[in-house]
Structure 1
Amino acid sequence: MTPEILARITAARTARDLSDLARQAVGITAADMSPAERLIAARRLRKLAADFVDYTVMAEALAGTPWPEIAEPLSRRDPGTVEGEYAESVADWQAMPEDQMTAAAEGAEDLDAWYARHQEDTDPTSETPVTDLLNRR
């Protein structure tokens, strides 16, 4: 297990949660709710989307992607600023003990099963998109 793989698994978990929450948001479209309740639900979606971006940035940084390559698709002009925003988190993930990473990655098979249940015809065809990461070293 590497920090990069754990970050990718964490990003996949976040994407799953975001998808589930987005589906729930569609389900409450006609619900009798207060404006505050609707806005809170929308903010939860935005927070998860931001978390997904953060974990994806972490995975790329941990994989050794240069900061200019990370900053550009984020529409950020200064790679140094982006690096500064993530430096402490990257260092924390790099220092994580192997056993802690392995424990945090548990449940990857559940993500594969979730993907199989929700997979549409236009989605990438992979039976084990998350556990395939575990074969990397």
Structure 2
Amino acid sequence: MTPEILARITTARAARDLSDLARQALATTAQTTSPTERIQEARRLRQMANQIADLVALAEALGGASWEEITAALGRRDPGTVEREFADDVAEWRAMTEEQMAAAAEGFEDLDAWYDRHREDQDPELSSPVADLLNRH
């Protein structure tokens, strides 16, 4: 396993969690709640989406993408600033041992089962989108 693959697995977990939270938000549409509660729920969704964007950027950095490309994709202007913002995370993920990465990835197969349960007709027809990551390297 590589740090890039672990970051992609972590991203998949975050995407699953965001999807679950969004589905829960939809389910409470008709419930009587305060404006504060509705806004806080929406803010939580936005925070999770931002975390996913950061995880994807981290995975791309770990995979060797240039900071110029990452910066442009994030809609930012200064690659040096973006690189400095991610520097500690990149170093931390690259310093992980194989054992640490394996422990952090444990249970990744559950993501494929989750995808299979929630996949709709317009979604890619894949049986193991997350497990297939391990066959990349």
Aligned residue for 1:26? 26
Query: C-alpha distance in 1, partners of 2:98/2:36?
Result: 43
Query: C-alpha distance in 2, partners of 1:33/1:97?
Result: 46
5+ residue gaps, structure 1: none
Query: C-alpha distance in 2, partners of 1:57/1:75?
Result: 12
Cα displacement (A) at 1:136: 2.5
Task: Please state if 1:97 is matched with 2:97.
Answer: yes
Cα displacement (A) at 1:100: 0.9
Query: C-alpha distance in 1, partners of 2:107/2:130?
Result: 10
Cα displacement (A) at 1:97: 1.4
Cα displacement (A) at 1:80: 1.1
Aligned residue for 1:86? 86
Moved >2 Å (runs of 4+): none
3-state DSSP of counterpart to 1:6: helix
Aligned residue for 2:114? 114
Aligned residue for 1:65? 65
Identical pairs, percent: 64
Query: C-alpha distance in 2, partners of 1:16/1:42?
Result: 17
Aligned residue for 1:43? 43
Query: C-alpha distance in 1, partners of 2:38/2:17?
Result: 18
Q: Give CA-to-partner distance per residue, 1:55-114, whole Å, 9 cap, x none.
A: 100100000001111111111111111111101100000001111110110111100000
- The TM-score with structure 1 as length reference comes to 0.97
Number of aligned residue pairs: give it.
137
**TM-align CA RMSD:** 0.8
**Further displaced range: 32-41 or 114-123:** 32-41
